[in-house]
Structure 1
Amino acid sequence: MPIRAKLIDCLNSRLIEDLQLYQTALSTFGIVAHAVGTSQITAIRKSRSNVARMLFEYLSPAKANEVKGDPPQNAAPDSETICRTTFMAQPHFRIWLGYPVLERDEADKALIDTCLKSLTTAEGVTVFRDIAVLTMYLSPHELPLLSPAQIAKMPRYELGFYLGILLNRPVLLTEEDEVQYGKFTPDLIDWICELLEDPQIAPIQKSLLDLVQKINLGEYYVAEIDAPPLLEKRKKMIGLIRRLDPTLRKIPPYQPPARANDPTRKIRVGFLARTLKKGPDSESLYALFRDFDTDRFEIYAYTIDHFDRVVKADKAFDEAFDKVLSGRRLLRYVQGTAHIVDKLRSDELDIFILANSTHFGVGTADLLISHRVAPIQISSNTVNPLPTSVGAFDHFLTSSCPDTSDEIAYSDIMEPPIFLDPTSICYPFGLGKETRTVLDRATIGLRDDDVMFYNGSSVDRLRAPCLRAYMRAVAQVPNGKLVLAPFNSGWSGNLHSNIFWERLRRVAAEEGFSLEDIVITNELTLAEARNLVQICDVYLTTWPHGGATTVTLALDKAKPVVVTKRVSSRSIDQFLVGSVGLNELVAKDEDDFIRIAADLGRSAETRTAIGDRLSNYDGKMPFFDVDNYSTRFQQLLLDVWDRN
Structure 2
Amino acid sequence: MLVNVDSVEVYQIKQNYRRMRKELTVKLLKPGFSLNDYFATDESRIFFKLAKSELPHIKLSSKERALADGLLSICVQERNLGRLLPVWLVTHLYFPSHRIKCVLSSGELLAMAPLELVKVVVYLMLRQPLLMLEKDEPDFCFTYYLELVRIFHALAMDEEESNRGRRELLIEYFYEFQNPSKLYFSDNDLLSVMVLRAEILSRRSRDITLRQRFEVSESFGDPASKVRVGIFMPALSERSETFVTLPLFKYFSSPRFSIHVFSELVELSHDDFLAFAPGCSSLTVIPRNLELCRQEIRKANIGIMVFATNLAAVSSPYVLLASRRVAPIQVAETCSPVTTGMQEIDYFLSGTFTEPPEAQKSYTEKLILLEGPAQAYAFLPRKEKNCPDKIFSRDDLKISENAVVFVSGANLNKITPGMRLLWARILAATPNSCLLLYPFNHNWQRDYPVITFMESLRETALQFGFDDSRWKVLKPLASRDDLLSLISLGDIYLDTINHSGAVSMLDPLLMGLPPVVIEGRRGRGRQASAILRSLGLNEYI
TM-score of the aligned structures, taking structure 1 as reference length: 0.74
Query: Offset of 1:160 from its aligned partner?
Result: 1.8
Which consecutive unaligned segments of at least 5 residues does structure 1 have? Answer: 1-30, 65-74, 307-311, 587-644
CA distance in 1, matches of 2:311, 2:397: 32
What residue identity is the alignment partner of 2:368? I
1:174 counterpart (125, 128, 134)? 134
- 1:58-457 to structure 2, matched below 5 A, reads 58=30, 60-61=31-32, 64=33, 75-76=34-35, 78-80=37-39, 84-90=43-49, 93-105=50-62, 106-117=65-76, 120-123=79-82, 126-143=83-100, 144=102, 145-148=105-108, 151-156=111-116, 158-171=117-130, 172-196=132-156, 197=158, 201-214=163-176, 215-243=178-206, 245-248=207-210, 251-260=211-220, 262-290=222-250, 293=253, 295-305=255-265, 313-321=268-276, 323-331=278-286, 335-336=289-290, 339-357=292-310, 360-381=313-334, 383-401=335-353, 407=357, 409-429=359-379, 434-436=386-388, 438-457=391-410
CA distance in 2, matches of 1:179, 1:80: 33
Residue 550 (1) aligns with residue 504 (2): yes
Query: Offset of 1:293 from its aligned partner?
Result: 4.2
Query: Offset of 1:98 from its aligned partner?
Result: 2.9
- Please say if residues 311 and 340 of structure 2, whose CA atoms lie closer than 8 Å, have aligned partners that are also in contact: no
Which protein is bigger by CA-based radius of gyration?
Answer: 1
Deviations 1:472-503 (A, max 9, x none): 22322232110111123223345311231233
- Please say if residues 408 and 567 of structure 1, whose CA atoms lie closer than 8 Å, have aligned partners that are also in contact: no
What residue identity is the alignment partner of 1:320? A
What residue identity is the alignment partner of 1:184? Y
Residue 466 (1) aligns with residue 428 (2): no
Aligned in 2, Cα 1:296/1:150: closer, same or farther, shift over 3 Å? closer
- 1:468-507 to structure 2, matched below 5 A, reads 468-493=421-446, 495-507=448-460
CA distance in 1, matches of 2:338, 2:239: 21
- Please say if residues 45 and 103 of structure 1, whose CA atoms lie closer than 8 Å, have aligned partners that are also in contact: no
Aligned in 2, Cα 1:86/1:407: closer, same or farther, shift over 3 Å? same
Structure whose residues are more often helix by fraction:
1
Deviations 1:340-375 (A, max 9, x none): 444433322222212201761455333332343333
- Please say if residues 232 and 306 of structure 2, whose CA atoms lie closer than 8 Å, have aligned partners that are also in contact: yes
CA distance in 1, matches of 2:271, 2:76: 63
Deviations 1:533-586 (A, max 9, x none): 222111111121111112112112211111111321212111101111221211
Aligned in 2, Cα 1:41/1:96: closer, same or farther, shift over 3 Å? same
Deviations 1:48-68 (A, max 9, x none): 55135313432x33xx4xxxx
SS at match of 1:259: coil
- Please say if residues 98 and 498 of structure 1, whose CA atoms lie closer than 8 Å, have aligned partners that are also in contact: no
Quote the residue 2:538 is aligned against: 583
TM-score of the aligned structures, taking structure 2 as reference length: 0.87
CA distance in 2, matches of 1:203, 1:389: 27
Aligned in 2, Cα 1:531/1:388: closer, same or farther, shift over 3 Å? same
CA distance in 2, matches of 1:36, 1:160: 37
CA distance in 2, matches of 1:109, 1:240: 38
What residue identity is the alignment partner of 1:423? P
What residue identity is the alignment partner of 2:166? I
Which consecutive unaligned segments of at least 5 residues does structure 2 have? Answer: none
What residue identity is the alignment partner of 1:255? E
- Please say if residues 299 and 324 of structure 1, whose CA atoms lie closer than 8 Å, have aligned partners that are also in contact: yes
Deviations 1:284-312 (A, max 9, x none): 32232158546432111123439xxxxx6
SS at match of 2:349: strand
SS at match of 2:413: coil
Query: Offset of 1:279 from its aligned partner?
Result: 3.7
- Please say if residues 182 and 226 of structure 1, whose CA atoms lie closer than 8 Å, have aligned partners that are also in contact: no
Deviations 1:569-627 (A, max 9, x none): 212111101111221211xxxxxxxxxxxxxxxxxxxxxxxxxxxxxxxxxxxxxxxxx
Aligned in 2, Cα 1:274/1:43: closer, same or farther, shift over 3 Å? same
CA distance in 1, matches of 2:89, 2:348: 42
CA distance in 1, matches of 2:313, 2:323: 12
What residue identity is the alignment partner of 2:155? L
- Please say if residues 270 and 301 of structure 1, whose CA atoms lie closer than 8 Å, have aligned partners that are also in contact: yes
CA distance in 2, matches of 1:411, 1:442: 51
What residue identity is the alignment partner of 1:201? N
Residue 563 (1) aligns with residue 517 (2): yes
CA distance in 2, matches of 1:446, 1:494: 28
Query: Offset of 1:449 from its aligned partner?
Result: 1.6
Quote the residue 2:4 is aligned against: 34
Query: Offset of 1:522 from its aligned partner?
Result: 0.7
Residue 540 (1) aligns with residue 494 (2): yes
How many residues align structurally?
525
